[in-house]
Amino acid sequence: MACLGYVVPHSLYPAGYHVQPELPLPFINLASQKNFIALYHSGIYADPALMNWFKNEYPIHCKRKLDMGKSCVRFKSMDDIPYELIAELCTKMTPTEWISLYEKNIKK
């Protein structure tokens, strides 16, 4: 599996990831799996309004049915990736907003 990750650096969030504090807080990841390409957006799972926005917008941008786990959106083909929608999704939450949601909903 190849993976590309965007994180909240320790300079912005010194506490790091609660499971491994020495690691920065994960935010958005891309992964090439055997049968699909995965987009992981940590904030989409923690923010119901953002999740609803994405689910409503997805059919406008993509012909295939949404294949989604908690924070994972799976694409079977490169041709199925709605790049403009993903670009817009990436503008919907700042790292500071993600930190706030993370501390409220996820970090124990």
Number of Cβ atoms within 10 Å of the Cβ of 68: 16
pLDDT for 105 = 85
With 0.75 as the threshold, say if the pTM is over it. yes
Residue-number span of the structural domain to which 13 is assigned:
2-106
Count up the domains in the chain and report the number: 1
The set of residues, in sequence order, having a beta carbon less than 8 Å from that of 80 and lying 6+ positions away, is 62, 63, 64
CATH number at residue 7: 3.90.1150
pLDDT for 60 = 96
Q: Which residues pair with 2 in a beta bridge?
A: 32
Q: What is the dihedral of CA 88, 46, 76, 89, to 10 degrees?
A: 0
> Which residues of the chain register pLDDT less than 70?
1-2, 107-108
